[in-house]
Amino acid sequence: MANIDFSKAELERYSRHLIIPEFNIEGQRKLKNAKVLVVGSGGLGSPLLLYLAAAGVGTIGIVDFDVVDDSNLQRQVLFGTACVGHPKVNAAKHQLLSLNPHIQINTYNTQFTSENALDIAKDYDLIADGTDNFPTRYLVNDTAVLLGIPNVYASIYRFDGQLSVFNYKYEDGSFGPNYRDLFPAPPPPGLVPSCAEGGVIGVLPGILGSLQANEVIKVITGVGEPLVGRLFLFDALSFSTRTLKLKKNPTRPKITKLIDYHQFCGLTPAETKISEEIQLNPIQEIDVQELERWKNLKLDFQLIDVRETYEREIVTIGGELIPKATVEDQLSTIEKDKKVVIYCRSGKRSADVIRLLQDKYDYANLYNLKGGVLAYAKEIDTNLATY
Amino acid sequence: MAQIIIPTPLRKFTNNQAKIDSNKNTVQAAIEDLAKQYPNFQKHLLDEAGQIHPFIKIFVGEDDILDLDKEQTTLENNTIVSIIPAIAGGSYNYYNLLK
């Protein structure tokens, strides 16, 4: 480690680290020598990457397949308006190197998959999980376990945050608990929040991603006590925090290889189930062009929006608002003797409503608007906002 | 009286109540009672066999009930019971894309 030298510019840049007695130049050398892979450069990845780059982590890998979207900027503070439309990894690299030109950034503009995960991660000392979905979280965890490297984990939802250091290697060669010790299996897709229930307060990933960066730095430098065998919880609504004990689950099956994580998370069977359901209970649908034609022809039909009031305030294409959960209480307002077009954000909730009305209340005059408001905003009226 | 802390993602099932008092003596009885009081909550806590889902963790004080007496862990006066759900992030697009 002593062979890692710093230029005058670096010494000055990192001086506030160098004068912390227990951190000093040894800690800074460890950071410069470290290779950290950050999976996901969104809400959590943004503050995490900014702080890791600023702190002087020598090599940072970033995996993300997404492009920057307007709706990201509320929380993904790594990006500015000019980044919209650009691949996240490219925009991130540009921003991070302008923050600190003394580090190396490796980018992987691809989805992190069972096929590429081990190959991408094999050259890194640590993985930080900044992903936003269950399949990739299990993939990140299992990759870290197979490679014997720590996985610094943070996760958020709306106002709740979770943080832990998984698969930490102790001096005796044993490993601390990992994500599968905490949650052996993910929720099935049916219990994962739907569009109407998504969302996150923008500051929350900033808080958790910063705490995550702190843990990464502690693990690399050996300074302090990393959050191993403990789960930190933050409730931003009540401002309460708790730290719970986390142990290895002796009954957990050993992780021996990467698997099909979509299937593990119930996605493949769910897709099959949905298509079977559609075959058994077919629903009629029209696309947004057809809806526009019906409007122009002034056909007599009813248009119903089954989203929530707060979604309608973002954007609407008209019709009556009957939120999905209240449909059964408002049956008298849903026409039976003329065509009724039902829509939501993407066409999923409206299809559920149509199946319910057809199966339980014998409606036969319902049409799902394919692609929902999103398709309408894309194909018919590009002035409409999407979310 | 033990106190059950409901995390924000699950509060919609408890009329937005963040803390619920329970006079039951075990985790099992308290969770079953909670599911009875709030029927919509049940499927998010328990599977069809009445077992706690693998994506829900229950802690009594600072300890996972798996490290105590599992569902039979006793609740004392002022015991704090935490329900911890698996959460993955703020994005829902991923699941929608696959549907």
Report whether pLDDT(A291) > 60. Answer: yes
% of chain A exceeding 70 in pLDDT: 94
For chain B (length 99 residues), average pLDDT per consecutive 10? Answer: 91 91 95 91 88 93 95 94 88 42
Best mutation target, B42, B51, B87, B99, to test chain A (most A CBs within 10 A): B87
Q: Is B94 on the interface with A (CB under 8 A)?
A: yes
Predicted pLDDT of residue A267: 74
Q: How far apart are CA A67 and CA A74, in angstroms?
A: 15
Interface of B with A in 33-72 (CB under 8 A): 43-44, 53-55, 57, 59, 62-64, 66-67
User: What is the average pLDDT across A93-106?
Assistant: 98
User: pTM score, two decimals?
Assistant: 0.85
Residue type, B80: I
Contact A179, B86 (CB under 8 A): no
Q: How far apart are CA A137 and CA A186, in angstroms?
A: 10
* Residue-wise pLDDT tens digits, A238-275: 899 999 999 999 888 999 999 999 889 887 654 444 44
Contact B8, A234 (CB under 8 A): no
Contact A66, B94 (CB under 8 A): no
| Per-residue pLDDT band at A315 (split at 50, 70, 90) | very high
Predicted pLDDT of residue A265: 87
Question: Domains in chain B and their CATH numbers?
Answer: 2-96 (3.10.20.30)
Residue type, A260: D
Size of interface A-B (CB pairs under 8 A): 120
Identify the closest residue of chain B to A242 by CA–CA distance. Answer: B62
Predicted pLDDT of residue A266: 81
Predicted pLDDT of residue B48: 87
Q: How far apart are CA B59 and CA A87, in angstroms?
A: 41
Buried b (16+ CB within 10 A) or exposed e, B85-97: bbbbbbbbebbbe
* Residue-wise pLDDT tens digits, A130-164: 998 899 999 999 999 999 999 999 999 888 999 99
Contact A68, A83 (CB under 8 A): yes
Maximum Cα–Cα distance across chain B: 47
Predicted pLDDT of residue B89: 77
- The residue that leads in pLDDT, A188 or A128, is A128
Residue type, A3: N
